[in-house]
Every structure is written in structure tokens, then in C-alpha cells.
Structure 1
Amino acid sequence: MTDESTPRKKRPLPPVKEAAVAYLSRRDHAEKELRQKLKRRGYSHGDIEQAIDFCQDYKWLDDVRYAGTTIRNGIAKGWGELRIRQEMELKGVNSQVIEQVMAVHEIDWFEHARAVAQRKYGETPMETQKEKAKRFRFMQSRGFDFEQIAYAFDQDEEY
């Protein structure tokens, strides 16, 4: 039984390389994201740099691979290009890497939008303006632009 007034002992931090590898063993991370996590745990800048270099040397940390994984996972979740780009930017992926990876993954975003709309709504017609607005908002929240949404719902007229 401990007295509430006595401070608890802090557990010592594991070596920074071990912590970095532990994060990467759970899932892929962007370099900036891993750097932030290690910093929050209290590691020094120099130690973090060594761990990052170590992980990159062994190809355990690779922003290009991370971006490719993010695109594939985003598509599987029914996200559009805008949402996938936003996700990568939030995780700290360099904009040049994003552009490079997006160019390699040739995705027809219009057909993807149509598939997402079909999966969500099936053949149910949009009978009211309110229903149309609701569906358009849903697709926008998934990261599709107006043209892709209009294509998905076969809408030629102005919104």
C-alpha cells in the first residue's frame, strides 16, 4: 500500500531505437509522425535523429511506402483523393512525396466515387433536394470534389 503523498517512480524510458521499432512494428508511420511520438515520450533530439536514421537504413521507415499504403487503405475505406491527401499531409508526408505517389497510383477518381456512392446508396433514387444535399455532403466528407460527386450520381445540372 502506497502513501498518496509519495511520488510514484517513473519507469525508465526504453532505448529510443527500441521505442521507434516498437511503434513501427504495430503499423507503418510517416517520418514526421514517428519523430513527434518519440519527442512526446521525452527522447532528446539527437537520440531521435539516430533512431530515425537507424530505421531508414533498415527500410523500416519509408515515407514513399507509407504514402502508398495510405492510398490503398483510403481507397478501401471509400475515401476520395482530397481526403487521402489530407491524411498524408496531417501525418507529415512531404508534398513532393504525395505528388510522386499519387502519380504512380493511377486511380480513376470518378469511377471510384461512383463505386462508393453505389455501395452506400445502391439504386435508390434521389427524390428530394434534401436527399440530394445529404448525399452530396456525405461524398464531400469522404474527400470527393464536386465534379466527381456529380458524376457518381449522374447529375449534369447545377447543384
Structure 2
Amino acid sequence: MPEDKFPKLIDYAALKQQFGEDEQSCSRTEQIYSETTSALHFASNSAPNINKQYPAHTEAIDDQEHNHNEDQDEQQNKRPGLTGSRLRSYAFAVLTRKEYSKNDLIEKLALYAENRDEVIELVNELARENYQSDQRLAEMLLASQKRQGKGPNRIKMALKNKKVDSSLISEELKETDWTEQAYQLKVKKFGTEVANEPKLKAKQIRFLQYRGFDMDAIMKAIRRKEQDF
């Protein structure tokens, strides 16, 4: 900072007139003033550089404090895992809302449980007591998928995604008239007229394949005439 910004500490002429100091005393006073001014000037220029000397250290401390606070918040917000009767009550609450496969129920409960092994043991117990049933779920899924116009291949895929064995409904799959199912879906989408144009026929085949029907049922469905009933 320039010296002219500092106020004059001593009026030399007034001192000489008032006290009659000799030149040596005044020179000493000027030296003191000069040293004082230099010290103030150095301090003023050096102070802003203190943080510049240790920026990384300062930022590291700030990051440590921020991470520590985040860890504390996470620990405070983390829910305690369910065990014992609380876990069992939660399992019943889940099953009252919808049917779950054994695999899906285990994964659902494990999100809130303290111990995964306890979840597996509990779900096996619920299955033995028929509170949870893959058989019941498979039958419900079959009925639901048939109402939506899905064929056997789509139904088996849906069961596989839930890790439910399709053999649980093998008899129901065999007893279903899939040709009739495919024909009703074809009529709803394209009408009763039998397609002779190759492009339209191919379009009907792709549509029924996407819905999960076998090729045998598809060909019978698109060739059936209205008077064939």
C-alpha cells in the first residue's frame, strides 16, 4: 500500500519548534517512522497471500468436513432393518395387497430386512402355510394373460420372468384351445374375412406371433372362414 495512504505519525517541524530537538533526534524519529511505515506496508501486502500459500490444504479440510457431515446424515436417515415379528407383520401386509412369487417376495422383503437368511426362512414358512403360493400366482397370471389376448409363449415368458415354473399350469395350458384364442384375436383386429394378399397375411402372422401364439394355431386361425363354426 503506498505511503501516502498512511497518516503522518509525527509532525517533525512542530516537534523541533516545541521541544527544540536537535537534528540527531529528528533523524532518529524519521528512521522510526520509516521502519513503521515499511512494516505496515509489508503486512498489508502479505495478508491477502496467506490463503494463497495453502489453498489445497484448506480445500482438503473443507472436503473432509463435508464428507463427514454427509456420512452422519446418511447414518441418521438409514432405516433399521426389520427382524422377527416386525418382519413377519410386514410380509403379511405385502401379501394382502397382491400375490407375489416366492422369488419376488424374498427380494421385496430383503430391501427392508436386517438379515436375508431370515427372509428366506420366513418366506419358506409362508409358502408351507399357503400364505404365499407360486401355484396360485401361476393360475392367476394365466387367466389374466388370456383375457389380454396373450398366447402360451407370452404366458410362459411372464412366468419365467417371475421365476415361476410353467409346469405348475401345464395342464391348463394343454386344455386351452389356443386356435380359438388366436382366431378371436384375429377377428377383433382384422375382421372375419380370410386374407389372400401375401402382405396382409404376413401382417396377421406377425401380429399373432408377437402375442405369443404358436405357428400351428396361427395358420389355422387366419385360414378359418366364418362359416366354419
Q: Normalised by the size of structure 1, how large is the TM-score? A: 0.78
1:135 corresponds to which residue? 204
Distance 1:109 1:21 in 2: 37
Is 1:108 aligned to 2:177, yes or no?
yes
Q: Considering only CA atoms, is the larger Rg found in Structure 1 or Structure 2? A: 2
- Structure 1 unaligned segments of length 5 or more: list them: none
Percent identity reads 26
Native 8 Å contact 1:17 1:54 kept in 2: no
1:118 corresponds to which residue? 187
Q: State the Cα distance separating 1:104 from its structure 2 match.
A: 4.1
- The one-letter code matched in structure 2 to 1:24 is L
Distance 2:209 2:111 in 1: 33
Is 1:144 aligned to 2:207, yes or no?
no
Paired residues for 1:1-159 under 5 Å: 6=70, 7-8=73-74, 9-14=77-82, 15-41=86-112, 43-94=114-165, 98-104=166-172, 106-123=175-192, 126=195, 128-154=197-223
Which one has more relative contact order, counting CA pairs under 8 Å at least 6 apart?
1
Q: State the Cα distance separating 1:136 from its structure 2 match.
A: 1.3
Q: Which stretch shifts more, 11-20 or 128-137?
A: 11-20
Q: Which stretch shifts more, 72-81 or 10-19?
A: 10-19
* Cα distance change on mapping 1:12 and 1:130 into 2, 3 Å: farther
Count of residue pairs brought into register by the alignment: 150
Q: RMSD between aligned alpha carbons?
A: 2.6
* Cα distance change on mapping 1:19 and 1:134 into 2, 3 Å: farther
Distance 2:80 2:168 in 1: 41
